[in-house]
Amino acid sequence: MAPTPQRGGVSPALAAGLLLIVLLAALAARYAWLARQTPTALPLEPLAIATNTAYAGTCPVLAAQARGYFRQQGFVATVLSRSSGKAAMEAVLQGQANVATVADIPIMFAGLNDVPVAVIATIFRTERDHGVVGRRDRGVVDPASLKGKRIGVTLDTSGHFALNALINRQGLAPDEVKMRNYKPEELGPALARGEIDAAAGWEPMLGNMLAEQGSNGVAFNNQDIYESLYMVAGMRDYIAAHPAGMQRLLRALIEGARFCAEQPAAAQALLVSVARNDAEQLKAGWPGYHFAVALDQGLLLALEDEARWAMKNELTPRGAMPNYLNYLYLDGLRAVAPAAVTVIH
């Protein structure tokens, strides 16, 4: 005969069932809590960046792309290769890119022409990447010998301003040389054909032209004459409409600049693999390269100095200095790395 349950007791089967219900309820509550704490993954945002991939200053952008910093910040980035910062900025103006890497001179001209662009940060600076390569058989042996020579240059670029600074250091006026306007990729062939006696530009094309000339070539750079500033810029309306996106972009660029500064061998290998840069040339110039994301007072002063140069040399019909504070977007970097902003405003 089966035993009679004790009065007021609970059978083992019923107790097990109740325990299971309690556990399931607890698990459901825990799952619901975790779901509230974990944000829903947002779709990656497309971002098109126009840049001169052959230029060492673009290293933070290439590193952010290759090492996944853009993706970590929520972007599917497309890097559009252009031959100069001027051409990269043109891609932004034509709606082909969201932002571009560009030197200071195109930004200066944008201000003189009332083009509504804005710089979100400087990512690179150096004094050693601009200069001139000349032909010895045309009498070019030093900067002073440029007097009366035909010099190829891409007008309205940093190469143009750096050339003016170089000849000014020799006590020469701009009209004492014969400037010829070429696209950056046309300078080397023009020098090789003898259409010009010298060519002004930036690395790596200077090194490439010098190598092509062999013993007939001579080179001099703008160290202690002109500091090249390389930055990221876009249309003012686009930047203002994407404040959170600009902060995420800046975070990716900060990581990219840190990689380029702290891991030079790996950074140089990246540039060689992406742009087929000369490894030895990169290694030689690297000590003079400074990678950092910043907005400092020096940029504002440089833009104003360059604007005075453009107005004095009648490169613009404008006679009044623009307010270049309107061409700097300070809010993004102030939110991400406030110590990196030293612009007085």
Question: Are residues 126 and 110 in contact, defined by beta-carbon separation less than 8 angstroms?
Answer: no
Question: Are residues 301 and 227 in contact, defined by beta-carbon separation less than 8 angstroms?
Answer: no
Tokens of 62: 């290439």
Question: Are residues 201 and 219 in contact, defined by beta-carbon separation less than 8 angstroms?
Answer: no
Question: Are residues 234 and 98 in contact, defined by beta-carbon separation less than 8 angstroms?
Answer: yes
User: Residue-wise pLDDT tens for the chain (345 aa)?
Assistant: 445 445 555 566 655 555 656 555 666 666 555 555 544 455 899 999 999 999 999 999 999 999 999 999 999 999 999 989 999 999 999 999 999 999 999 999 999 999 999 999 999 999 888 999 999 999 999 999 999 999 999 998 889 999 998 998 999 988 899 999 999 999 999 999 999 999 999 888 999 999 999 999 999 987 778 888 999 999 999 999 999 999 999 999 999 999 999 999 999 999 999 877 788 888 988 999 999 999 999 999 999 999 999 998 889 999 899 999 999 999 999 999 999 999 988
- Tokens 């094309």 locate to 205
The pLDDT of residue 224 is 79
How far apart (Å, rounded) are the C-alpha atoms in residues 201 and 42?
43
Tell which residue, 17, 14, 103, 112, has the closest CA to residue 52.
Answer: 103
The pLDDT of residue 13 is 60
The CATH class, in words, for 130-221 is alpha beta
- CA 312, 317, 323, 328 torsion: positive or negative? negative
Q: How many CB atoms lie within 10 A of CB 329?
A: 23
* Topology, domain 45-126+228-340: D-Maltodextrin-Binding Protein; domain 2 (3.40.190)
Outline which parts of the chain fall under CATH 3.40.190.10: 45-126+228-340, 130-221
Tell which residue, 229, 210, 205, 198, has the closest CA to residue 127.
Answer: 229
How far apart (Å, rounded) are the C-alpha atoms in residues 52 and 70?
18
Name the region of 133 (left: φ>0; alpha: ψ -120 to 50; beta: rest). beta
Backbone angles phi and psi of 218, in degrees to 5: -140, 145
Looking at residue 158, its amino acid is S
With vertex at residue 321, the alpha carbon angle to CA 241 and CA 113, rounded to the nearest 5 degrees, is 55
The pLDDT of residue 271 is 94
Q: What is the pLDDT of residues 227-271, one digit of tens each?
A: 889 999 999 999 999 999 999 999 999 999 999 999 999 999 999
The pLDDT of residue 33 is 56
Q: What is the pLDDT of residues 108-126, one digit of tens each?
A: 999 999 999 999 999 999 9
Bridge partner residues of 58 (DSSP): none
